[in-house]
Each structure stands twice: as structure tokens, then as C-alpha cells.
Amino acid sequence: MKTTAPNTLLARGLIIVLMIVTLLPFLSMLSAALAPQGSYPNGLQWPTDPQWGNFVRAFEVARMDQLLLSSTLIVLGVVPVSVLIATMAGYGLAKLTSNKYKWLYLIFVFGLTLPFEAVITPLYYEVRALGLLNTRFAIILPLIGLYMPFSVYWMRAHFLNVPHDLTEAAQLDGATRWKEFWLVQVPLARPAIMSLTILLFLWTWNQFLLPVVLVQDPMQRTMAGALGAFQGQWGTDIPLLCAGSLLILAPTVALFLVFQRQFVAALMQGAVKG
């Protein structure tokens, strides 16, 4: 007879190997980040005299404080607006419209697989015409639009699952559509809104293509965009580059560790629905 025990062991073994593979690049960066300035460290080797000061230097060189501020401003510009208008649109598409408007939904769905590269060139000219090139709005406004297909799709899927009785009950109580939306539907949609917020936050924070094309000054970019510039400038100084990279990826990792459960749930559902 076969038992499941060896299987479980095998599975755990496999998973542990996967975890090690996942962690090695981070460890390798950490070990390099602690090597003496300007040296050529080895792949993975605990330095005899760890130079924690490299992180301080990288913080100053990369002007981390300004980067954090810039990324935060961009996220604040993108996420609340996107979530709000996507929630309204998702509700509208799920509850208010007849089949006549199905084409509208289909147009949104079409955008789901659209690579950003497909519109980046005209976006450049559009943003330039608006006079917004090299400002944070050059990242914020297009991103709101680019996130709409997924966000609307996501919120519509949520509202489709809300039983219709609820609307009727609210209407019997004399609530207007608008009131029903804010007082009944939105509170109920909190988990969906929460997940959407997390996903949009991550995607905005880590967005690279738009900052690279639309904003020259790294200080006006997102973290990821700034990291690109940092690599261009300090690519040959491995300890500094690794220290800077670790600093730049630290904020999202820290948030992820704190809200691990919510992040994992959002990322998994996001993949399934997206």
C-alpha cells in the first residue's frame, strides 16, 4: 500500500528548494551590499567586516527620502481616484445597465491584455501636448486610464455577486440609487475594494515604463523608475548598487510582511480575475 507520507516529504523538500531559490538573489545582494566600498565582491560570501555604512551612503546617494515622497505622491494621485471611479463604473455596469450597454463592458475587457508598450508612444505626445511632461501628472493621469480595464472588470465582478434583493430592500426603504450605492453597496464591497487598492498600489509603486519614458528627473518618478536611473549611474559600484536596490525594494516588502495575508489574497485573486 502507498501512503501519503513520502509524498508530503517530497513536497516539503521541493518547496524548501523553491524557497531557497527565491531567497538566494536577496541574500547575494545583501552580502554584496556589505562588502567594502568599490571592491569586487563574490557572489555569496559573508564579509569579514560588514560595511553597514553602505546603506547610509546609498540612502544619501539615492536621496531615498525624496524618492519615498515622490512615490507616495504618485500613489496618492493614482489609487484613490482609480478605486473610486472604478467602483462607480463597476456598480453601474453590473446593476444599472441593460444588455444594450454590454458593448461598453466589452470595450473595457478588451483593454485587459493590452501591453502598455502598445500605447506608450502616443502617450508621450499626448502628455507633451498637455504640457505635463516631466511632472508627476505625466505618470498619474495615464496610469488611472491604464488601470481602468482591470479595476472596472474587478469591481463589476464583485457587484454581480451581490444579490439583487438587497437593492430592492434598500429601495423599499426609500433609498435613492445614490444613497443605496454609498450606504449599502460600498460598505459591502470593502474586501474587493481593499484588494484592488493593494494591487493598484503595488503596480503604481513598481511601475517602470511610464516613468522612464515620460519623466526625466528621477526625483519625480516612482521607486522603480528611480532605481533604473540609480543603476545607470552606479551600475559599476556593486556594493552601492546592491545596497541601494535593497533600500528601494524595502518599503513594499515591509508593507507586504505586515499585511501578508491581505497581499497574498489580493495577488492570487488578481491573477485569477486578470
Partner 1 sequence: MAPAFVAYAAFVLVPLGMSIYYSLLRWDGIGKARFHGLTNYLTVLTDNDLLQIIGNAFQLVLYFTLIPVLLGLAVAAAIRSHMDGRFGTITRTVLFLPQVIPLVAAGIAWSWMFASTGLVNQTLKAIGLSDWARGWLGDFVWALPAVGIIGAWVLLGLCTMLLVTGITKIDPSLYEAARLDGARPWHEFRYITLPGLRQEIGVCITVTVIAALASFDIVYISTQGGPGITTTVPGLEIYRLAFAHRQVGLASALAIVLMVLVLITIAPVQWFTRDKK
Q: Which residues within the stretch 161-200 sit at the binding site for partner 1 (CB under 8 A)?
A: none
Could you tell me which stretch among 58-66, 122-130, 167-175, 183-191 binds partner 1 (CB under 8 A)?
122-130
79 binds partner 1 (CB under 8 A): no
Q: Is the dihedral of CA 23, 25, 27, 33 positive or negative?
A: negative
The answer to whether 218 and 74 have CB atoms below 8 angstroms apart is: no
Provide the grid cell at 229: 536611473
Q: What string marks each residue from 42 to 71 as x (binds partner 1 by CB under 8 A) or -?
A: xxxx--------------------------
Nearer to partner 1, 66 or 121 (CB): 121
CB of 77 to partner 1, least distance (A): 12
Shortest Cβ 78–partner 1 spacing (Å): 11
Separation of alpha carbons 272 and 118, rounded Å: 23
Backbone angles phi, psi at 112, to 5 degrees: -60, -40
Q: In sequence order, which residues have a C-beta less than 8 Å from that of residue 152 and are 6 or more positions away? A: 86, 89, 90, 93, 108
By rule CB under 8 A, what string of x and - marks binding of each residue 15-44 to partner 1? x--xx-xxxxxx-xx--x-------xxxxx
| Inter-CA distances, 147 with 74, 114, 191, Å | 14, 11, 19
- State the minimum distance, in angstroms, from the CB of residue 38 to partner 1: 14
What DSSP state is assigned to residue 163?
-
Stretch that binds partner 1, among 49-57, 59-67, 79-87, 179-187 (CB under 8 A): 79-87
